[in-house]
Structure 1
Amino acid sequence: MSFIRTLHGDIKPEQLGFTYSHEHIVCRPPFWVEKGEDDLLLDDKEASLKDVLDFVHHGGQAIVDATAVDYGRDVQAVANIATEAGIHIVGTAGFNKSFLWDAAITPHLHEVIGGNFRTYKDWIEGSSINELTQYVVKEVEEGLEGTKFKGGQVKFGTAYNRITPLEEKTIRAIARAHHETKAPIHSHTEVGTMALEQIEILKSENVDVSYVSFGHMDRNPDSYYHEKIASMGSFLCFDGIAKIKYAPESTRIACILELVKKGYEKQILVSGDTARKTYYKHYGYGLGLEYIIAKWVPRFIDEANKAGFDGEKLVELFFVENPKRCFTFKG
């Protein structure tokens, strides 16, 4: 039986609806807390809720919260937002990237994982691959950080243009957790790099990479690279919408349409990775969670139609049909 696992239970894939595939809703990343980077702390549940309600007002139905354990999740707050906003939220088990792991482990997490680990690095370094695997499996099958709210995908991440030994360790743990749970896999690629190298490691763990979505593909606007990843059957997540400091929307849309031209339209996901107060409307007066569905989608439809495609059909694929397949537990 196929299903999608949300914070409030398993649903049929066709129930998911219009979906943002990579967001952060409420989190206080320990690394950024220690650095005093307030902009990167989404620490006001009510402000986050207002942005989610804006998304719902425009027809949004689901959000994949890609916040892993090392990024300071507030699982209960996000679960409450799902209830109050009346949407599906998919939670994330697993890990992010190595530079975040120097931060001290929070007391709450200490209670969950046990041991004498001071930092996330200590924990990952001091645990076997199989011990990390079982932690992730527990988050998928029992609940995130000891709560009753289960993870609906498993995640790993790597650094810019390199994969550290500890990151490889988490990739292998996630691969094994995927085999045990059948959960879909999400990859953080720093500035869109190292996806092909990640795939080599996953294949060495006998992972079918059609179960994997690769994040931040628009940070590396290289159509040849995108085609290489797509040709292996993986999903590509263009999740930097509205971040003009990295590239104009024309660049992102051109990369997406290039994949469509090559026949990979069924492997594209779109989202905003809205992880700063200044990106949120109700924290820092930013464009907010409503921007993609209310502003970017009409622009994309217009550009796609002018390029000879059916823009509305592509939007249905990117935000409904593709997420429905990507986030499904199969078998």
Structure 2
Amino acid sequence: MMINGITYMHEHTTINLSEVKNTEDCQLDVFSETVKEYKKLYEKGVRNIIDVTNFGMGRNIPYVQKVAEKTGMNIIFSTGFYQEEFYPIQVFRKTREQLAEQMIAEIIEGIKGTNAKADIIGEIGTSYNKWTDTERKVFEAVVIAHKETNKPITTHTSIGTLGHEQVVFFKENKVDLNKVVIGHVDLTGDADYILQMLREGVYVEFDTIGKENYMPDRTRAEILKKIQNAGYIDRVFLSMDITRKSHLEYRNGLGYSFLLDSFIPLLHSYGITDKSIEKMLIKNPLTFMNN
């Protein structure tokens, strides 16, 4: 499924959360600018983007396929339901079995009548410090879809909260933790909290690189050094989770290349080895997506 090269494990080629967030900035639909940035990434060795935009997030398959076509980027599609605040009405009305069927169809048959098939389930989320009943129903539906298709699962934690609870849920539901990545863990700012998850056997994502309004990148680097020292760097992915127009270069945002141009040199300065960086950017994603 995957090709070689660097993988950004948690991105949105296009996304629209503007209704809920009440700002047009959250409608990321600037095609030519995204193409420009993906081309730049391609020149730097990035070959794969895991696009975790799903139901209720403004998913637009033909748009993303055109971006892939123009840039040469291998873009992986996902299926699932984000978190309660953004659920379409059907998520509340349908049973978990019906939701599972919907995801399975997108994996096996294709998404919304296109030839694009989902290769990952996610991003599925819990709310901030709160796991709602409907979110739990979605997670239960995901377990059914995962067991039917063996596709990996990628999660959203709101500001890093409930990561441990998500791990417990997957363990209790007998999901192979090698197939699960817990998202946004860097926002906890807490190495021990993250190491506890890693010891359980899941993967984790430092996927909000550069979002210093949430967490300084130096804190991310310090935690990654501790993870390297503890021997768990082969369970970590990196990404930026770009979701706004203002995140892009044309609006003087950091842009997608920031991860490679600025964050990787920062990691070097903290003693993160080339081998560790190669694992996080290239080897770990390949292992996860192909196991």
1:280 matches 2:248 = yes
Counterpart pick for 1:141 among 103, 108, 119: 108
CA contact under 8 A between 2:5 and 2:48: conserved in structure 1? Answer: yes
Cα distance in 2 between the residues matched to 1:35 and 1:294? 30
Q: Any conservation in 1 of the 2:12–2:53 contact (CA below 8 Å)?
A: yes
Aligned to 2:170: 202
Taking the aligned partners of 1:99 and 1:150, their CA distance within structure 2 comes to 26
AA aligned to 1:68 is N
Unpaired stretches in structure 1, ≥5 consecutive residues: 1-10, 102-119
Contact 1:16 1:88 in 2 (8 A): no
CA deviation after TM superposition for structure 1 residue 178, in Å: 0.6
Name the larger-Rg structure.
1
Judge conservation of contact 1:210–1:232 (CA < 8 Å) in 2.
Answer: no
**Is 1:314 aligned to residue 276 of structure 2?**
yes
1:213 aligns with 181
Whole-angstrom distance in 1 between the partners of 2:203 and 2:20: 34
Matched to 2:283, the amino acid is E
Once the 2 structures are TM-superposed, how far is the Cα of residue 62 of structure 1 from its aligned partner?
Answer: 1.1
Distance 1:146 1:267, change over 3 A: same
Q: Which of the numbers 74, 78, 86 marks the counterpart of 1:88?
A: 74
Residues 24 and 273 in structure 1, CA contact (< 8 A), matched pair in contact too: yes
Higher relative contact order (CA 8 A, sep 6+): 1
For residues 260 and 64 of structure 2, the distance between their equivalents in structure 1, rounded to whole angstroms, comes to 21
Q: Deviation per CA, 1:231-267: give whole Å up to 9, x if none.
A: 1111110011111111211100111111111110110
Q: Does 1:23 align with 2:35?
A: no
Aligned length: 290
2:19 to 28, 33, 41: 33
CA contact under 8 A between 2:20 and 2:85: conserved in structure 1? no
* Mapped partners of 2:52, 2:80: distance in 1: 10
CA change 1:218–1:58 in 2 (3 A) is same
SS in 2 for 1:82: helix
Q: Which amino acid aligns with 1:21?
A: M
Q: Of residues 239, 256, 260 in structure 1, which corresponds to 2:207?
A: 239
Match of residue 264 from structure 1: 232
C-alpha separation between the residues in 2 aligned to 1:228 and 1:172? 23
Q: Does the 8 Å contact 2:27/2:244 carry over to 1?
A: yes
Alignment deviations for residues 72-116 of structure 1 (CA, whole Å, 9 cap, x no partner): 111111111112111111111101111112xxxxxxxxxxxxxxx
The counterpart of 1:61, out of the listed 36, 47, 55, is 47
Q: 1:249 aligns with which of 190, 204, 217?
A: 217
Matched residue type, 1:195: G
Q: Distance in 2 between matches of 1:242 and 1:290?
A: 11
Q: CA deviation at 1:186?
A: 0.3
Change beyond 3 A, Cα 1:209–1:34: closer
Q: Who is 1:5 aligned against?
A: none
Structure 2: stretches of 5+ with no match in the other structure: none
Seen in structure 2, the aligned counterparts of structure 1 residues 60 and 77 have a Cα distance that, compared at 3 Å, is same
Map of 2:60 onto structure 1 = 74
